[in-house]
Amino acid sequence: QDAFVAFHADKVLVSKYLKPLQIGELAPDQTSIEPTKNEILVKDFRELRATIEKMGLLEPNQLFFFLLLAHILFLDIVAWFILFYFGTSLMPFVFSLLVLTISQVQASWLQHDLGHLSVFRKTKWNHLLHKFVMCHLIGASAKWWTLLHSQHHAKPNCFHKDPDIDMHPFLFTLGKKFSVELGIKKKKYMPYNHQHKYFFIS
C-alpha cells in the first residue's frame, strides 16, 4: 500500500517481519483499492512517485546536511564568543541572542529531517544524529518529539488527535465548525478575527 511505501525506507528489512503476519492473497476479483479512493488518482500519484524516484529527487544531499550542521555549530560558537569576549551587557546580549535564535531555528529544521529518517540511508545514523541535535543543541527530548510528530502525521489537523493543533482553542480557531464549538462552550477569549496577525508567535 502507499502508506507502507511512504513510511518504510528500508523495505527489504521490514518485509522480513511481514511474512509471519501474512493471512493470504486477495482473490483476483477483489480490488486492493479502498472504496473511498479514486483509482485513477491513486494511479497518477504512483506514476508521479515513480518518476520522482527515477529522477533521484528523494535522495538526500548529505553535503548539504553536513554544511547545515557545521553552520549551526559555528553560530553556537559565535553566540558564546560574543558573550565571552564582549561581556553580558545589553548590546552583546542582544547580538548573541539573535545569533543563537538563528542557530536554534536551523537546528529545529535539521532535527525534523533527521526525525523523519530522511538524511542517512541507515536508520541508526538518523536516530543518533537526531538525538545529538535535539537533545544537545536544542535541549529537548528526541523521543518526545518523535511521539508527538508521529501522532501529527497519523491524524494531521484532526482536532483532539493532532498534538500540533492542541493549542487552537486558546490561540486559534480553524474553520466554521471549530468556531461554533468554541462559541457554544463560551471559550472564545481570543480575538480570532485578528489571528492572522499573531499566528507567527506559535
pLDDT above 80 (res 57): yes
Amino acid 126: pLDDT = 94
Residue 6 is which amino acid?
A
Query: What distances in angstroms separate CA 90 from CA 103, 167, 182, one per listed residue?
Result: 20, 33, 43
- The span from the CA of 43 to the CA of 39, in Å, is 6
Q: Identify the residue with better confidence: 100 or 6.
A: 100
Amino acid 46: pLDDT = 87
Q: Is the pTM of this model over 0.85?
A: no
Predicted confidence band of residue 179 (pLDDT cuts 50, 70, 90): low
- The span from the CA of 191 to the CA of 154, in Å, is 30
The widest CA-to-CA distance across the chain, in whole angstroms, is 76
pLDDT digits (tens, 9 = 90+) for 67-119: 999 999 999 999 999 999 999 999 999 999 999 999 999 999 999 999 998 89
pLDDT above 60 (res 16): yes
Amino acid 190: pLDDT = 62
For residues 1 and 14, the answer to whether their CB atoms sit within 8 Å is no
Tell me phi and psi for residue 147, to 5 degrees.
Answer: -60, -50
Closest CA to 82 of 70, 73, 72, 94: 94
